[in-house]
Amino acid sequence: MSAAPAFALVDWGTTSFRAWATAADGTVLGERRAPDGLVTAGPKGFGRVLEEHLAALGVPAGVPAVLCGMVGSRTGWVEASYLDAPVGLDDLAARATAITHESRPVFVLPGIAQRTEAEPDVMRGEETQLLGVVAEGFRTGLVCMPGTHSKWVRLQEGVVEGFSTFMTGELFQMLRANSILAQAVQTEAAPSANDPAFEAGVRHALDEPALVTNRLFQVRAGWLLQGASPQSGLARLSGTLIGLEVAGAIARHDAANAPVALMGSGPIVALYERALTLAGLASPRRLDADACVRHGLLAAARLLFASKDSGR
């Protein structure tokens, strides 16, 4: 390494582990990815797993580590209590939970809870990505975060004012594998944003969201009666569910009148970008999910250790 590591940044989920060694100026000195999520790390010991990966990155003892994700959940290394929305993202560092660890200072960033009776919701891990979104200069507007459980977040000058979770990805996998639609969508090919069936699914869901469960059954009927291909059926299924999510976000967050940032990685981003365009939303700003979580962890580390240095 040309520079000494100043921070170890770790995004630790249920099934995955990602770590970066960075210099003080944010330069990435090394990266490590492994399937050492909570499921496997718990029995091994979280401290042991962390040190094995940081040793492989060449991060010496004493270099602080800042962690986010499900590692801070009730079933993780330590429970980092939720902060209540509305909350400024800068508060994540100030409210981080310290872990007594002999090798180095370790801090776990908290999640965010929305405790309203009508719209209870939680996030853990995404809040750090949002800190990275703000670091990228997007401070006010709606952030769409596609995934198994997609998040739509309202930001106002770096404050999370509210958010909604949509189970779009999970529903897609359940319907694809374990429903009456399974045969009609049985293909290894991924849905394409350019497939006319995807566009039709999005448009139908946007125009008539109350008919979505009927539209979903039509995927099977079209396969049986009209010879629709499984690839077309899968694209229609994906478009219908993503379109329903976008329709919900527009209704809940007035998305039609706000700047939108689309934060994600991989092929799913193109699907959401097409759906947002079909919904008539302004061209969204695209942000990379991996970059945002790393930038968020770095911003938190700087805030955390700058505040601790100034308090000495």
Residue 270 CB neighbour total at 10 angstroms = 16
Residues 257 and 305 in one domain: no
Radius of gyration (C-alpha) of the chain in whole angstroms: 21
Contact 280, 256 (CB under 8 A): yes
pLDDT over 90 percentage in the chain: 92
pLDDT of 177 reads 97
Q: By mean pLDDT, which of 64-68, 167-171, 301-305 is the weakest?
A: 301-305
Residue 159 belongs to some domain of the structure: no
Residues 50 and 122 in one domain: yes
Residue 229 to residues 53, 153, 188, 198, 270: CA-CA distances in angstroms? 45, 36, 12, 13, 22
Residues 100 and 210 in one domain: no
Residues 33 and 114 in one domain: yes
pLDDT of 2 reads 65
Which residue segment(s) compose the domain that 20 sits in?
Answer: 7-138+291-310
Residues 269 and 301 in one domain: no
Residue type, 93: A
In this structure, what CATH number is given to the domain that contains residue 225?
A: 3.30.420.310
pLDDT of 230 reads 98
In tens, the pLDDT along 188-234 reads 999 999 999 999 999 999 999 999 999 999 999 999 999 999 999 99
In tens, the pLDDT along 36-74 reads 999 999 999 999 999 999 999 999 999 999 999 999 999
Residues 100 and 174 in one domain: no
Residue 57 belongs to some domain of the structure: yes
Residue 97 belongs to some domain of the structure: yes
Q: What is the mean pLDDT of the chain?
A: 94
In this structure, what CATH number is given to the domain that contains residue 43?
A: 3.30.420.300
Over residues 92-116, mean pLDDT: 96
Residues 98 and 68 in one domain: yes
Residues 98 and 17 in one domain: yes
Over residues 250-269, mean pLDDT: 90
Q: At what angle do helices 268-278 and 230-253 cross, to 10 degrees?
A: 60
The whole-model pTM stands at: 0.92
Residue 90 belongs to some domain of the structure: yes
Query: How many domains, the chain?
Result: 2
Residues 175 and 270 in one domain: yes
Report d(CA 146, CA 267) in Å as an integer. Answer: 11
- What's the pLDDT band for 282 if we cut at 50, 70, 90? confident
